[in-house]
Amino acid sequence: MPSETGIAHSYGVASSNNAPLLGRCSGFVAEHPQDAFHLPARRTSVPEARRRVSALLRAWGAAQQVRDDVELVVTELFTNAVRHTGSEKVGCELALVGTHIRIEITDQGGGGASAPQVQPGSVDKECGRGLFLVGALSESWGSRPDDSGLGRTVWADLPYTAAAH
């Protein structure tokens, strides 16, 4: 369902525009703070995804290190979805569950059937470091086919701590 900004949000998921109201969205009581959005699968959408995630994490009261790490993981996964798939749009979902934040980036497919993998020697290359960084910053990460069976969701769980007041 499109919001006033024209961005589609998942049903029952609080928009980042409503981050201070995270317990309630259209009568739905969220068990955990979460947000979802879709952007066109273009390079120019990557910084927009990073800005949205940064604003959301500030609203959730995340510590600066958490914001930095999540922004980097979202940047790498979103970039991979844009570069390596034939998607028209890419979805991003964040959920705060206890002491972890779950990031899910979903593409529409068209980039081959193989799951993303860290490439050997990727630390020393200009391209290919993304998944190495995701693995280094995440407690766990992986991928699965999306609900349609055509695309793929790449997820990562990062530790969450609130900012000191």
Q: Which long-range contacts (CB under 8 A, 24 or more apart) does 57-63 make?
A: 57/94, 59/16, 59/19, 59/20, 60/19, 60/22, 60/33, 60/96, 61/162, 61/163, 62/101, 62/160, 62/161, 62/162, 62/163, 63/161, 63/162, 63/163, 63/164
pTM for the predicted model, two decimal places:
0.75
List, for residues 22-58, the tens digit of each pLDDT value: 333 333 434 578 999 999 999 999 999 999 999 999 9
Instruction: Read off the pLDDT of each residue in 93-112 and give the average, rounded to a whole number.
Output: 90
Q: What domains appear along the chain, each with residue ranges and CATH number?
A: 16-159 (3.30.565.10)
**pLDDT class of 110 with cuts at 50, 70, 90:** confident
Given this model, what pLDDT does residue 98 score?
87
Average pLDDT score, the chain: 79
